[in-house]
Amino acid sequence: MSLSEARFHDLVDATQQTLEDIFDDSDLDIDLESSAGVLTVKFENGTQLIFSRQEPLRQLWLAAVSGGFHFDYDEESDRWMCDKSEEQLGEMLERIVKAQADVELDFEGL
């Protein structure tokens, strides 16, 4: 079943807020920018993570140094899942942030 537009936006908003909270609570020297549904995380080393909503596809997209990833929301698990690898967003972020910023953060619940 496809997500309604309102539910999709609520889920992305909540996910982006959770991401902002996790990064804000970390000791990382980062810049967070949120504008027009796009959340950009800029690390001290110059690399970035960019989270954007793709409304027509009802997907959350992530751009990282290692590539671009598309996530569908799985109602059963209550998680964003990569449409290619079926990896949960939180698991992938732990791996990507470690590789990109050499720091371990807990993205449990995403």
> CA–CA separation, 48 vs 97, rounded Å?
10
Distance separating the N- and C-terminal Cα atoms of the chain: 21
Amino acid 24: pLDDT: 92
pLDDT at 52 over 70: yes
Q: Over the stretch 15-46, which tens digit does the pLDDT of each residue have?
A: 999 999 999 999 889 999 999 989 999 999 99
Token pair in block for residue 10: 């609520």
Q: Over the stretch 55-89, which tens digit does the pLDDT of each residue have?
A: 999 999 999 999 999 999 999 999 999 999 999 99
DSSP per residue, 17-59: HHHHHHHHHS----EEEEETTEEEEE-TTS-EEEEEEEGGGTE
pTM of the predicted structure, to 2 decimals? 0.93
Amino acid 27: pLDDT: 84
Amino acid at 47: T
pLDDT band at 109 (very low <50, low <70, confident <90, very high): confident
Cβ of 14: how many Cβ atoms within 10 Å? Answer: 11
pLDDT at 1 over 80: no
